[in-house]
Amino acid sequence: MKFEVFEGKTFEEAKEEGLNALNVNENEVFIKKEEKKGKLFKGTTYICKIVKITDVANFLKDKLAELLNNMGIECQFETNIREEQINIKMYSDKNNILIGKNGQTLMAIQTILRQIVHNEIEVYPYILLDVENYKEKKMSNLERNAKRIAREVLKTKVDVTLDNMNSYERRIIHNALSKYKNLSTASEGEEPNRHIVIRYVETANDEEE
Protein backbone atom coordinates (compact mmCIF):
# COMPACT_ATOMS: atom_id res chain seq x y z
CA MET A 1 0.00 0.00 0.00
CA LYS A 2 1.33 3.40 -0.94
CA PHE A 3 0.27 6.91 -1.80
CA GLU A 4 -0.22 8.06 -5.37
CA VAL A 5 1.60 11.41 -5.72
CA PHE A 6 0.26 14.41 -7.64
CA GLU A 7 1.77 17.87 -8.04
CA GLY A 8 0.34 21.26 -8.96
CA LYS A 9 0.71 24.99 -8.64
CA THR A 10 -1.81 24.86 -5.77
CA PHE A 11 -3.03 22.15 -3.40
CA GLU A 12 -6.46 22.30 -5.02
CA GLU A 13 -4.97 21.73 -8.48
CA ALA A 14 -2.90 18.77 -7.29
CA LYS A 15 -5.88 17.29 -5.44
CA GLU A 16 -8.25 17.60 -8.40
CA GLU A 17 -5.70 16.00 -10.71
CA GLY A 18 -5.32 13.10 -8.30
CA LEU A 19 -9.04 12.56 -7.75
CA ASN A 20 -9.67 12.60 -11.50
CA ALA A 21 -6.78 10.23 -12.22
CA LEU A 22 -7.98 7.75 -9.59
CA ASN A 23 -11.65 8.29 -10.47
CA VAL A 24 -12.69 8.80 -6.85
CA ASN A 25 -14.41 11.38 -4.64
CA GLU A 26 -12.63 13.14 -1.79
CA ASN A 27 -14.57 11.14 0.83
CA GLU A 28 -13.20 7.91 -0.68
CA VAL A 29 -9.53 8.67 0.00
CA PHE A 30 -6.99 9.80 2.55
CA ILE A 31 -5.02 12.86 1.48
CA LYS A 32 -1.69 14.22 2.73
CA LYS A 33 -0.53 17.66 1.65
CA GLU A 34 3.10 18.71 1.30
CA GLU A 35 5.03 21.66 -0.09
CA LYS A 36 8.28 21.49 -2.04
CA LYS A 37 10.12 24.80 -1.96
CA GLY A 38 11.66 25.73 -5.29
CA LYS A 39 15.27 26.73 -5.70
CA LEU A 40 16.35 30.15 -6.92
CA PHE A 41 13.71 31.78 -9.20
CA LYS A 42 11.47 28.72 -8.93
CA GLY A 43 8.12 28.75 -7.15
CA THR A 44 6.72 26.32 -4.61
CA THR A 45 5.32 23.02 -5.85
CA TYR A 46 2.27 21.72 -4.02
CA ILE A 47 1.96 17.97 -3.53
CA CYS A 48 -1.07 15.83 -2.72
CA LYS A 49 -0.46 12.24 -1.71
CA ILE A 50 -3.61 10.16 -2.12
CA VAL A 51 -4.52 6.62 -1.09
CA LYS A 52 -7.91 4.98 -1.53
CA ILE A 53 -9.73 3.98 1.66
CA THR A 54 -10.55 0.66 -0.01
CA ASP A 55 -6.81 0.00 -0.38
CA VAL A 56 -6.32 0.77 3.32
CA ALA A 57 -9.19 -1.61 4.19
CA ASN A 58 -7.61 -4.43 2.15
CA PHE A 59 -4.24 -3.74 3.76
CA LEU A 60 -5.89 -3.91 7.19
CA LYS A 61 -7.54 -7.25 6.45
CA ASP A 62 -4.21 -8.72 5.38
CA LYS A 63 -2.47 -7.47 8.53
CA LEU A 64 -5.34 -8.62 10.73
CA ALA A 65 -5.26 -12.10 9.17
CA GLU A 66 -1.51 -12.22 9.77
CA LEU A 67 -1.93 -11.11 13.40
CA LEU A 68 -4.67 -13.64 14.13
CA ASN A 69 -2.71 -16.42 12.42
CA ASN A 70 0.15 -15.72 14.83
CA MET A 71 -2.39 -16.03 17.67
CA GLY A 72 -3.50 -19.40 16.29
CA ILE A 73 -7.02 -18.15 15.47
CA GLU A 74 -8.87 -18.87 12.24
CA CYS A 75 -11.28 -16.10 11.36
CA GLN A 76 -13.64 -14.89 8.65
CA PHE A 77 -14.05 -11.17 7.92
CA GLU A 78 -16.92 -8.96 6.79
CA THR A 79 -15.80 -5.48 5.75
CA ASN A 80 -17.59 -2.28 4.77
CA ILE A 81 -16.72 1.40 4.61
CA ARG A 82 -19.19 3.98 5.86
CA GLU A 83 -18.49 7.72 6.05
CA GLU A 84 -14.72 7.15 5.87
CA GLN A 85 -14.90 4.61 8.71
CA ILE A 86 -13.52 1.13 8.01
CA ASN A 87 -15.73 -1.48 9.69
CA ILE A 88 -14.37 -4.99 10.06
CA LYS A 89 -16.47 -7.69 11.68
CA MET A 90 -14.79 -10.96 12.69
CA TYR A 91 -16.36 -14.40 12.91
CA SER A 92 -14.49 -17.15 14.75
CA ASP A 93 -14.97 -20.10 17.06
CA LYS A 94 -12.75 -18.27 19.57
CA ASN A 95 -14.77 -15.11 20.05
CA ASN A 96 -14.13 -14.96 23.78
CA ILE A 97 -10.38 -14.83 23.17
CA LEU A 98 -10.76 -12.12 20.53
CA ILE A 99 -12.96 -10.00 22.78
CA GLY A 100 -11.08 -10.46 26.05
CA LYS A 101 -12.17 -9.14 29.43
CA ASN A 102 -14.49 -6.14 28.94
CA GLY A 103 -13.43 -6.01 25.28
CA GLN A 104 -9.80 -5.19 26.14
CA THR A 105 -8.25 -7.64 23.65
CA LEU A 106 -10.49 -6.36 20.87
CA MET A 107 -9.54 -2.76 21.62
CA ALA A 108 -5.84 -3.70 21.75
CA ILE A 109 -6.02 -5.35 18.31
CA GLN A 110 -7.80 -2.28 16.93
CA THR A 111 -5.10 0.01 18.35
CA ILE A 112 -2.34 -2.16 16.86
CA LEU A 113 -3.98 -2.06 13.43
CA ARG A 114 -4.29 1.73 13.49
CA GLN A 115 -0.61 2.01 14.42
CA ILE A 116 0.42 -0.38 11.62
CA VAL A 117 -1.39 1.82 9.09
CA HIS A 118 0.19 4.95 10.56
CA ASN A 119 3.64 3.41 10.31
CA GLU A 120 2.93 2.67 6.64
CA ILE A 121 1.37 5.95 5.44
CA GLU A 122 1.44 8.30 8.48
CA VAL A 123 -2.36 8.40 8.66
CA TYR A 124 -4.53 7.17 11.54
CA PRO A 125 -7.68 5.73 9.93
CA TYR A 126 -10.90 5.44 11.91
CA ILE A 127 -11.41 1.70 12.37
CA LEU A 128 -14.30 -0.08 14.03
CA LEU A 129 -13.29 -3.65 14.76
CA ASP A 130 -16.02 -5.96 16.03
CA VAL A 131 -16.53 -9.63 16.86
CA GLU A 132 -19.90 -10.68 15.41
CA ASN A 133 -22.30 -8.24 17.16
CA TYR A 134 -20.37 -7.69 20.40
CA LYS A 135 -19.88 -3.93 19.99
CA GLU A 136 -23.35 -3.42 18.54
CA LYS A 137 -24.90 -5.02 21.61
CA LYS A 138 -22.56 -3.09 23.90
CA MET A 139 -23.46 0.16 22.15
CA SER A 140 -27.17 -0.52 22.61
CA ASN A 141 -26.67 -1.30 26.30
CA LEU A 142 -24.58 1.84 26.84
CA GLU A 143 -27.15 4.03 25.10
CA ARG A 144 -30.05 2.50 27.00
CA ASN A 145 -28.29 2.90 30.36
CA ALA A 146 -27.20 6.47 29.57
CA LYS A 147 -30.74 7.50 28.65
CA ARG A 148 -32.10 5.94 31.85
CA ILE A 149 -29.60 7.92 33.93
CA ALA A 150 -30.35 11.06 31.91
CA ARG A 151 -34.02 10.82 32.83
CA GLU A 152 -33.04 10.56 36.50
CA VAL A 153 -30.82 13.64 36.22
CA LEU A 154 -33.66 15.60 34.59
CA LYS A 155 -36.02 14.48 37.34
CA THR A 156 -33.75 15.07 40.34
CA LYS A 157 -31.51 17.84 38.92
CA VAL A 158 -28.56 16.02 40.55
CA ASP A 159 -25.40 15.43 38.50
CA VAL A 160 -24.26 11.83 37.95
CA THR A 161 -20.69 10.59 37.38
CA LEU A 162 -20.48 7.42 35.30
CA ASP A 163 -17.89 4.66 35.57
CA ASN A 164 -14.53 4.99 33.79
CA MET A 165 -14.79 4.32 30.06
CA ASN A 166 -12.58 4.29 26.99
CA SER A 167 -12.91 6.96 24.30
CA TYR A 168 -15.14 4.79 22.10
CA GLU A 169 -17.66 4.24 24.90
CA ARG A 170 -17.60 7.90 25.95
CA ARG A 171 -18.29 8.98 22.36
CA ILE A 172 -21.37 6.71 22.27
CA ILE A 173 -22.80 8.37 25.37
CA HIS A 174 -22.00 11.92 24.24
CA ASN A 175 -23.84 11.22 20.96
CA ALA A 176 -26.77 9.47 22.66
CA LEU A 177 -27.44 12.44 24.98
CA SER A 178 -26.48 15.30 22.66
CA LYS A 179 -30.08 16.25 21.86
CA TYR A 180 -31.39 16.24 25.43
CA LYS A 181 -32.48 19.68 26.61
CA ASN A 182 -31.34 20.79 30.07
CA LEU A 183 -28.48 18.25 30.00
CA SER A 184 -24.76 18.46 29.32
CA THR A 185 -22.14 15.72 29.20
CA ALA A 186 -18.43 16.22 29.85
CA SER A 187 -15.46 13.86 29.87
CA GLU A 188 -13.30 14.35 32.96
CA GLY A 189 -10.26 12.75 34.56
CA GLU A 190 -7.06 11.33 33.11
CA GLU A 191 -6.69 8.08 31.17
CA PRO A 192 -7.29 5.29 32.07
CA ASN A 193 -9.63 6.81 34.67
CA ARG A 194 -11.50 9.12 32.32
CA HIS A 195 -15.27 9.20 32.75
CA ILE A 196 -18.39 11.15 31.81
CA VAL A 197 -20.36 13.47 34.07
CA ILE A 198 -24.01 14.06 33.17
CA ARG A 199 -25.15 17.45 34.45
CA TYR A 200 -28.47 19.22 34.71
CA VAL A 201 -28.32 22.64 33.04
CA GLU A 202 -30.81 25.34 33.93
CA THR A 203 -32.12 27.54 31.15
CA ALA A 204 -33.49 31.06 31.28
CA ASN A 205 -37.04 29.66 31.26
CA ASP A 206 -36.25 27.50 34.29
CA GLU A 207 -34.95 30.51 36.21
CA GLU A 208 -38.06 32.56 35.40
CA GLU A 209 -40.28 29.81 36.77
Q: How does pLDDT run across 55-83, given as a tens digit for each residue?
A: 999 999 999 999 999 999 999 999 999 87
Q: Where are the domains of the chain?
A: 4-51, 54-132, 137-208
To the question of domain 54-132 being in CATH 3.40.190.10, the answer is no
Helix (H, G, I), strand (E, B) or coil at 151: helix
pTM: 0.70
Residue 3 vs residues 48, 51, 60, 141: alpha-carbon distances, Å: 9, 5, 15, 40
Q: How does pLDDT run across 123-159, given as a tens digit for each residue?
A: 888 888 999 888 888 889 999 999 999 999 999 999 9
Check if 54-132 and 137-208 are the same fold: no
Fold of the domain built from segment(s) 137-208: Ribosomal Protein S8; Chain: A, domain 1 (3.30.1370)
